[in-house]
Amino acid sequence: MLTHINIKKFLYMEDISVELVKGLNVFTGETGVGKSLVVDAVEFAFGSKGNFDENSSVEVVFEDVRSEYSDDGILIVSREIRNGKSIYYLNGRRSTLSTLKEAVKDVLEIHGQHHSQKLLDKNYHRVILDKYAGLDEDIKEYQELYYKYLELSKKEKELIEMQSKRLQEMDLLKYQLEELESADLKEGEKEELEEKFRYLNKINEINESITKSLINISEEENSILDKLSQVIKDIQKISDTHTEFKNILENLEEAKVLMSETLFSLSNFDLEIDEEEIRKVEERLNLINRLELKYNTDEKGLIILKEQIRSKIENLENLEDQIHEIKNQKEFVYKSMVSKGEEISKKRKEFGEKLSREVEEHLKDLALKDAKFLVVIKDKDYDKFGKDDVRFYFSGNKGLDPKPIEDTASGGEISRVSLSLKLVTGSDVDCMIFDEIDAGIGGKTAVLMAEKIYKLSQKYQIILVTHLPQVAVYADRHIFIDKISGNNKTESLVKVIDGEERKKEIARMLAGVINKKSLQLAEDLLTRIKT
């Protein structure tokens, strides 16, 4: 609920704090004192347009708010004008206007002759009717079908577009698959080929090294074997002089045997350059490198790509079956969606007639005896809310055909329609402000309006600017507004009144003057309400 309106500066209102309570809060005062300024201040905090004075500042405090924008149930909205610019705050933190409006849209509604009305939004008409008809679950079921239908339609369109490109794409994919299949790549093959290619290209170098080694070991004068034989002969001469020489001799003889074996092994190498094999290896490597460059991937990626292309070809070949299956699913979902849409439409029409009758009854009690209120439902293309275009039509005078309410109703009439709708359907917000919706009402009608407003305040918090004593006596909190002029300055007085002060204000509202008779009338009225 709205608990505080703190006005630091707004027009001629300065340093004013208004504390509100649950139930019915009324603002009263003489004509011309600016009773509606408090409402204007709230709208200012919510971002209303206008030319406002520098340092204008208003703060509005809500409690028991359940939303992502509240802190422990507290929602504080404020605005100030600084250097000619508006600065907005949510719970003391800077905010954008769009975020601020989102934060308060489900918390408070303002109804009045000079204030914006949700009822002027034709989309809101369907929301009201659906709530009244209890269609939440039906709408939810319908939307599941609707979004499924959209999903299937999108899938069908994609498949049909894919089908139109099918022949061209199939030719390309089949060519790519054939190219990769004929390449018959094996994982790790490239590495083996590169190693083999390096080896084959070094055969000349290998043969040259073997030849030199053979010459150095045995064929050249003073070869390694010759020199090793000479060393063995020299050590043999002295081998009996010391045991260590015998060990050295054994090592030398063993080295000669190893060298002879090496000579044998090298002599048996017969390396011929196989130009054909080199060509084949080179061609194979060139093929792999070309495919890697063409498809922008490595050897492993080419193997994976081949399987992906094969799978894609299979999917394209099965497109006809897929399209047929999607069409069948879409047709089934569409029939179910239409059936649910017809069911919802039937309920809307049934409850629309009932809503029209009940609202008209309330309007007659609110001095609009010739008013006509109709819930007009016309067919339209199916959207996420069904097949119905729901509009409220209104006529305030006898002999005039009802037309869309936003085109025909005055501010006062819209406010009374809003009140009537709240009484019939309930409200989707817990706090409502009504600004002088009782203008032009008196007598028995005033009593009926007072009863209706009081009834609504039993369930919701109502803040009301009124000139009717019949309404004011029902207040749970009565706030008096006055304007004081002097010393070239106008100041506003806003205070909660009770007891004798309240009785005097009711007397003034009843008779225009405060005297013994009007005070007695006020006391009688207050006593009657209490009982």
Please list, in sequence order, all residues whose beta carbon lies within 8 angstroms of the beta carbon of residue 306, skipping any fewer than 6 positions away: 177, 180, 181, 185
**Strand stretches in 371-518, DSSP E:** 372-383, 386-395, 403-404, 431-435, 461-465, 477-486, 489-497
Question: Does the pLDDT of residue 71 top 80, yes or no?
Answer: yes
Q: Could you give the C-alpha distances from 284 to 186, 191, 226, 273, in angstroms and in order?
A: 12, 12, 48, 18
- pLDDT, tens digit (0-9, with 9 covering 90-100), for 90-144: 999 999 999 999 999 889 988 865 555 778 888 889 999 999 999 999 999 999 9
What pLDDT sits at residue 270?
Answer: 63
* Number of neighbouring beta carbons within 10 Å of residue 30: 16
In the 8-state DSSP scheme, what is residue 158? H
- pLDDT, tens digit (0-9, with 9 covering 90-100), for 344-397: 999 999 999 999 999 999 999 888 889 999 999 999 999 999 999 999 999 988
- pLDDT, tens digit (0-9, with 9 covering 90-100), for 266-324: 777 766 666 777 788 888 888 888 888 988 988 888 888 888 888 887 777 777 788 89
What pLDDT sits at residue 56?
Answer: 94
What pLDDT sits at residue 504?
Answer: 94
Question: 3-class DSSP state for residue 494?
Answer: strand
Question: Does the pLDDT of residue 187 top 90, yes or no?
Answer: no
Name which residue leads in pLDDT, 198 or 365.
Answer: 365
**Lowest-confidence range among 367-371, 443-447, 524-528?**
443-447
% of the chain beyond a pLDDT of 90:
47
- pLDDT, tens digit (0-9, with 9 covering 90-100), for 87-104: 999 999 999 999 999 999
Cut 0.85: pTM above it: no
Q: What is the distance between the alpha carbons of residues 45 and 61, in angstroms, rounded to a whole number?
A: 11
- pLDDT, tens digit (0-9, with 9 covering 90-100), for 14-70: 999 999 999 999 999 888 788 888 999 999 999 988 889 999 999 999 999 988 999
- pLDDT, tens digit (0-9, with 9 covering 90-100), for 403-442: 999 888 887 788 889 899 999 998 888 999 988 787 777 7
